[in-house]
Amino acid sequence: MTAVGSCARARGFQFIQDRGARGHQSRLMKIVLKLILFLVMLSLGGCMSHTTESTAATGGPDATSAVVRYQTTDVDRAVRFYTEQLGFALDLQAGTAFATVSRGDLRLLLSGPGSSGARPMPDGRAQVAGGWNRVVLYVDDLAAIIDRLREAGTPFRNDIETGMGGAQIQIEDPDGNPVELHEASAESTSATGGPDATSAVVRYQTTDVDRAVRFYTEQLGFGLDLQVGTAFATVSRGDLRLLLSGPGSSGARPMPDGRAQVAGGWNRVVLYVDDLAAIIDRLGEAGTPFRNDIERGMGGAQIQIEDPDGNPIELHEASAS
């Protein structure tokens, strides 16, 4: 009732009085009451849409959904960067705890220090930004976007790398999380069914592409979309596409200062599941490494596992509310 009252007062409802005949007044009041009810429903929707997480029954994630989680120290600052600099749309924000932004078929969960997805591990390790696991955004004019981002003071990790799929470069968001900008080659553009400038994937480093494909398809229900020998493969689950980058791919080359792009880190894909306990049992029997115990928050229950190369994956069972 408090939320309803607050939203209703914010709308500034006004009662309409008519001094005409009783029948005319009655008809008018019915119309006004319907209008008030409609506006209250709208205000409830507006108030709730940016403060709650929910299950598929209310339009939230189901067991085929997937997002990517990035750690951030300032959710408002992160939202501004992704919406103003990289063309993401703000889907949901819960104060300073977390926000979800989207671009094409990619949803990115920006996890603030107060969120359950940012709590330290049982051994005390902090979940920090950075690493090498990253989102890959396809663009139409890489050179022009590089110029615009340099003018805005965006940090760059490397120079342009070219490979069979096109040209790419890595930037960092305000917390140091990596973002790859990729201009696809003419042979792999949307004209031939490949990525266009609204497409996005997530890149994971792997030392054995075949082994990684088996893990994601057999253990986590991904489908194999494409594999190019031992160089790389793309697998998908729901609205998430994951690019498994082998040692021979252009997306695995060392940085100009010699730093290697290694697996691991804390940037991770989040897979929504129906029965977390059953999946934990199955993965435990298969010898899958677990990073932590179950964490619970406003959105539900979650736990982190590792793939064969040490890349993190979060399994998340959404709350009923």
Report CA-CA distances (Å) from 259 to 132, 150, 266, 310: 11, 22, 18, 18
pLDDT (tens digit per residue) in 254-304: 999 999 999 999 999 999 999 999 999 999 999 999 999 999 998 899 999
CB count in 10 Å sphere of residue 74: 15
The pLDDT value given to residue 38: 36
Q: Is 163 helix (H, G, I), strand (E, B) or coil?
A: strand
Q: Report the amino acid identity of residue 254.
A: P
pLDDT digit string (tens) for 177-224? 999 999 998 776 544 456 778 889 999 999 999 999 999 999 999 999
Q: Looking at residue 23, what is its pLDDT? A: 47
How far does Cα 283 stand from its chain's mean position? 24
Which residue in this structure is represented by tokens 């926000």?
A: 99
Angle 104-105-109 from CA coordinates, rounded to 5° = 100
HSE-CB for 65 with a 13 A CA cutoff: 16
In this prediction, residue 36 carries a pLDDT of 39
Under DSSP, the state recorded for 109 is: E
pLDDT tens-digit map of 136-181:
999 999 999 999 999 999 999 999 999 988 999 999 999 999 999 9
DSSP secondary structure code for residue 176 in this structure: S
pLDDT digits (tens, 9 = 90+) for 34-53: 443 333 333 323 332 333 33
**β-bridge partners, 237:** 240
Strands 240-245 and 268-272: unpaired
- Tell whether pTM > 0.85: no
Smallest CA-to-CA distance from 136 within 194, 95, 192 is with 194
| Distance separating alpha carbons of residues 100 and 8, to the nearest angstrom | 26
